[in-house]
Amino acid sequence: METTHEVFNQPEPLVGYNLFETNRPLRDALKFNAPSLQLAQLSELGATIGSAEMQAHARLANTHPPELHTHDRFGRRIDEVEFHPSYHVLMAAAVGAGLHGTPWTGTSASPHVLRAAGFMLFTELEPSILCPVSMTYAATPALRSNAAVYADWGPKLGSLWYDPALASFKDKPGLTMGMGMTEKQGGSDVRANTTQAVRDGSDDWGERYAITGHKWFFSAPMCDAFLVLAQAPAGLSCFFLPRVLPDGSRNAIHIQRLKDKLGNKANASSEVEFHGASAWLVGEEGRGIPQILEMGTMTRLDCALGTSGLMRQALGIALNHASQRMAFGKPLIGQPLMKNVLADLALESEASTALAIRLARAFDQQADEHERLMARLLTPVAKFWICKRGSHFAQEAMECLGGNGYVEEGGEGIMARIYREMPLNSIWEGAGNIMALDLLRGLRKGDAVAALAKELAPARGQHAALDRLADALPARIEAMASETEARRLAQDVALAVQAALLAQTAPPAVVGAFCASRLGGDWGNAFGTLGAGTDFDSIIERAQPR
């Protein structure tokens, strides 16, 4: 066969590098928020997940999604989900890195910041397997409201061992937890739940109930246990519902089907029915809403962390491509318009990283009143703004690759997977409107206006646009009489805090360009519209993944 052409000018994939050591914005955010943090564990994780082997596992786990088996070949009900072996390799790596329950059992001085950085890094490899990891993180402290259950389950929820077997908790070295909150008719309005909980005696784990009803989103169904909401005599309550009962029998959880989702393909999200399933009360009967709000705070942090990690991954792939691909006589990265796009993406990525890690710091310092208020304010703000920016970010990063980015193949094919994943964190755990409303509620707690002013104070005088926004926010907060402009307020609080953080952690080129564009109006309505005076080269060099 005659040769028709030579293959050249195709960039080598971004593989075989240390995701942590090459991420300067993340390292600077950690230095600012947790200066005494030991970084060896993160460096080791960065090297592992940047390897070709682990990237292959991520591809396989998404190419071969989970399969539901409701019955065995003899007709017996089994309700099991089968995963590709690569899924279990990824889960073992995430659990082994302590991305689930270790903040509740570890000895680090900044356990939530340490875990947050690892969670962001792992998201760059494969985000969808982190769903059960995130839920285990959020559910573990809630179990303390049932001391007997926590005594049996708590230590193994913090274990670094991953065991996928569907077996009794007594026979497993490590455990994971999922959640089941929403129903068909309610969604975020969990007060509309109809699933019923009827008293069924008591035992070593306390008050036992029989649960009958359904859950429209039940993730991830092969976890060892779940926290679920159901209507008890005193109202909506939180329950601990294991997959396998203490006597070794399987609980009455029937998996109806797996969700066919836009992205998040490696993770199994399901619809289930409970047919008198056994569950144990967690906390007080009728206090399910406060319980779920506490857990939601944790998972919303992970949404911000996860989107920040996806932004960093998309940016790294775009920079890798543009540094190698030649067009019109020079590398793409040397073209003025491409410089503008890449620098703009780099600003967005670094600002998201700074805000997400700052929020994690607040979780580490809950004994401090200011930090408690900032956790209350920044959780909905970060979840709203970072996640809302994700889809736009991924589309622009994909465009940097042209048609190669749109193809589901090879190293650059990861970009299509990122694009499908991006909307998830914005939708799950409370969509944009829910977050904006939650910010309004948070602003009524304590002296929130003073806390925000204190947060912005160290950056005063760094940029005129930031000073103007900081001056205007208190009056806007005080005058907020309706919900109509809550989204705009959430956006501006996010931008003000991001700018203040960058002023304390980033080089002048980054700070100046971010404030001039996001706060000062020297920006268009799309990425790649920074002003001509921007120091593009310095911003791009700082963001390079190699």
Domain segments of the chain as ranges: 24-157, 176-286, 290-543
As a CATH number, domain 290-543 is 1.20.140.10
Residues near 314 by beta carbon (within 8 Å), at least 6 away in sequence: 345, 393, 394, 397, 398, 415, 418
- pLDDT given for residue 408 in this prediction: 86
Look at strands 67-71 and 326-327 and give their pairing.
unpaired
For residue 168 the two structure tokens come to 């009794």
- pLDDT given for residue 319 in this prediction: 98
Cis peptide before 431 (omega within 30 of 0): no
- Report which DSSP code applies to 233: T
Cβ-count burial 122-150 (b if 16+ within 10 Å, e if not): bbbbbbbbbbbbbbbbbbbbbbebbeebb
pTM check: above 0.85: yes
Look at strands 177-180 and 330-331 and give their pairing.
unpaired
Whether 320 and 541 have beta carbons less than 8 Å apart is answered as no
**Cβ count within 10 A of residue 251:** 20
Cα Rg, the chain, nearest whole Å: 24
Q: What averages of pLDDT result for each successive group of 10 residues across the chain (546 residues)?
A: 89 95 98 96 97 96 97 96 98 97 85 97 97 95 95 96 96 96 89 96 97 95 97 97 97 98 96 98 94 87 98 98 95 97 98 98 95 96 98 97 88 88 94 95 88 97 98 92 91 98 98 98 96 98 94
- pLDDT given for residue 131 in this prediction: 96
In the chain, the amino acid numbered 99 is L
Among left, alpha and beta (phi > 0; psi -120 to 50; other), residue 200 is alpha
For residue 530 the two structure tokens come to 């920074």
Residue 214: its H or E element: strand 206-219
Beta bridge partners of 253: 274
For residue 472 the two structure tokens come to 């205007």
C-alpha closest to that of 501 among 155, 170, 33: 33
- pLDDT given for residue 293 in this prediction: 82
- pLDDT given for residue 409 in this prediction: 81
Distance of CA 192 to CAs 48, 214, 215, 262, Å?
A: 45, 13, 12, 26
Cβ-count burial 159-183 (b if 16+ within 10 Å, e if not): beebbbeeebbeebebbbbbbbbbb
For residue 363 the two structure tokens come to 């979780």
3-state secondary structure of 326: strand
Q: 176-286, which class in CATH?
A: mainly beta
